[in-house]
Structure 1
């Protein structure tokens, strides 16, 4: 299971500005870590079909002007009409996060108020049972990021952007094994945003770095970094910088084995309002390589008739879903921030076939904000249709046979999804 959350929710949603700041900070709040390693306690479930059959965890979030609460539901299906009852869910204060390593039988929850990760299992009646926990606070981590790079059942990397490091931890023993400093990823005045996804080539891990400043200048550094790590020795092999493309936060590996690193919609918005000179584009790492292909730098505007394009999502085989900006659907003035452009429902859905280099609009999907979450679960790719005010979310299976298909509906903002049995 891979979960990509391009937007994070503030502890209280009083303005669009607060919403967008959390988009990049992924803030969870401070406080002391709580290592709850006592005996597991059953904490309720939504009824995932007893102790047999498929079981999925659906993570939602609800907030008002004073507080944010996260809910973790166990369901037996992702189909439309599946009941999702908040009164039967595990409730955790704050912006807690769902972590799951599909195919490895492991899932856990990142605490909403401290940098603590707890292992969970399914108990009787598919109740969520809490096990061992680890705190990343002693290693300088202030806030959890929603991404873990999965190396093996006994090794995961947690990217700590603010600390400019990788925390190496063992999901099996629930122990932190060390850190990998990344001082070269520092850029004054900008936050180093490590990739929402990574590419594992044998023992070598690759992930991108983009640099964003949304607080003062609303700018993006006009280059992209590529971190190359030896996962056997947990050491940095190389840090490359490429000035052909900027604002990349996501990579997608296709069936060919090639990996595409594509500009974010934020980069496209910044280019559109002339705060970034680098046009939205895509870089590539070939299947047998560990560096950007020097002969490939594709202008995304060429795929969509000159429109602004960004935010790639896996579409199966050699294809990617892309978000294409339609200016006539947006409201922009001189004071408009880039996050205010990506949060408007002015981004259409397109599919790009990297094998043929053809891109076409998907008419079955209405325009929506660019910064949507997506989830890769059980060989399928999902996104959400988020209602006004995030009071309700409906899953959309993007890779369904015959075209996009609506799935279950959950109260609140659906931010996590995993198959756990």
Structure 2
């Protein structure tokens, strides 16, 4: 599973952000979490069936809590029973590596990752835990780059470093300092996803100032790490495009690095100099293509756009802004622009270099999560005030299809069996 929460939502207490991953929690009611060793008989027909963890978040003026539900399906009509969920305070996160059958909890109050499994009754069982606090990590981000079953990288954006840890043994193995990514007054936002070229891991760096100016630097970094030696082999900076937070690798093997919707919003209110754009790394390369830098407005009839989401094949989805649907004042923050339901869905065919609206989907906020689960891509339809969320399977045969509905803001999904 690959779940991406790509945007910060500071008004909702989400902490340090949205994509690879999120979830989980403590116990609510009688059925949420089993203690290790309390093996129970499995209900008839349950063993061997599919199981998913769905994470939601509920907040009010007093507190934020995360809830995690084990469900047999992501389809519409699936029951999501809050009394059987797990609960942890604040913005807990799921870190899941679907291909490895591994998932765990990123704590909402400390930089601690705990491994979880399902028992015979599909209750969540807590296993070993590791703390990243001794390595200077203050809080977890919803991202990990999986290198192998025994190695993952956790990008510590605030600390400008990579934490190397072993998901199998649940041990921290070291750090990779990234001092060249520092920009005074800006957060170095390491990509919510990464790509690999042989033993080289590549991820982007965008620079955002959410603390004071709400500005974005007009450049994009690219970090190249040798995953055998855990060393930085190269750090590039490209000044043709800014505000990139997410790559999408297409069926061709080429990877597209596209401006975020936050960057598009910053450009719209003159807080970013470069227009929303896309860079590319060709399938056999490990650096940005010097001959490719595309303004997204060339695809979208002049509208600003951003936030790439996999659409299958050589296509990806974009969020395209319609100014007439939004309310923007002089002091409006970029996240307040992306939070408004003023962003259309478009599909970009990178092979043909053509884009068109997805008519089946209504305009919605741009700062929603997307999830790659079991070979499918999902997003959510978020109700007013995040009181409920409905999954939308973007890559469903025949067009987008509604899935299950949960209470609260749905921020993570993982297939765990």
TM-score range, shorter chain: over 0.9
Query: Contact (CA 8 Å) 1:27, 1:144: kept in 2 or not?
Result: no
Q: 1:172 to 1:19 in 2, by over 3 A?
A: closer
Using the alignment, how far apart are the partners of 2:45 and 2:62 within structure 1?
35
> C-alpha offsets along residues 187-219 of structure 1, whole Å, 9 cap, x if unaligned?
000000000000011111000000001221111
How do 1:3-402 residues align onto structure 2 when only pairs under 5 Å count? 3-7=3-7, 16=11, 40=36, 50-402=46-398
Residue aligned with 1:84, SS: coil
Using the alignment, how far apart are the partners of 2:235 and 2:69 within structure 1?
40
Q: 1:380 to 1:367 in 2, by over 3 A?
A: same
TM-score w.r.t. length of structure 2: 0.93
Using the alignment, how far apart are the partners of 2:401 and 2:86 within structure 1?
28
Using the alignment, how far apart are the partners of 1:270 and 1:126 within structure 2?
45
Query: Contact (CA 8 Å) 1:48, 1:76: kept in 2 or not?
Result: no
Q: 1:8 to 1:245 in 2, by over 3 A?
A: closer
Structure 2 unpaired stretches of 5+: 24-34
The offset of 1:315, in angstroms, is 0.3
Aligned match of 2:27: none
The offset of 1:21, in angstroms, is 8.0
Q: 1:254 to 1:27 in 2, by over 3 A?
A: closer
Residue aligned with 2:367, SS: coil
Using the alignment, how far apart are the partners of 2:354 and 2:371 within structure 1?
24
Using the alignment, how far apart are the partners of 1:48 and 1:281 within structure 2?
53
Query: Contact (CA 8 Å) 2:187, 2:209: kept in 1 or not?
Result: yes
TM-score w.r.t. length of structure 1: 0.92
The offset of 1:89, in angstroms, is 1.1
Aligned match of 1:31: none
The offset of 1:6, in angstroms, is 2.0
Using the alignment, how far apart are the partners of 1:56 and 1:382 within structure 2?
14
The offset of 1:236, in angstroms, is 0.4
Residue aligned with 1:126, SS: coil
Query: Contact (CA 8 Å) 2:13, 2:64: kept in 1 or not?
Result: no
Query: Contact (CA 8 Å) 2:130, 2:170: kept in 1 or not?
Result: yes
Query: Contact (CA 8 Å) 1:49, 1:76: kept in 2 or not?
Result: no
The offset of 1:285, in angstroms, is 0.3
Structure 1 unpaired stretches of 5+: 11-15, 29-38
Residue aligned with 1:57, SS: strand
> C-alpha offsets along residues 293-341 of structure 1, whole Å, 9 cap, x if unaligned?
0000001000001100100000001000000000110111222221111
Give the number of equivalent residue pairs: 403
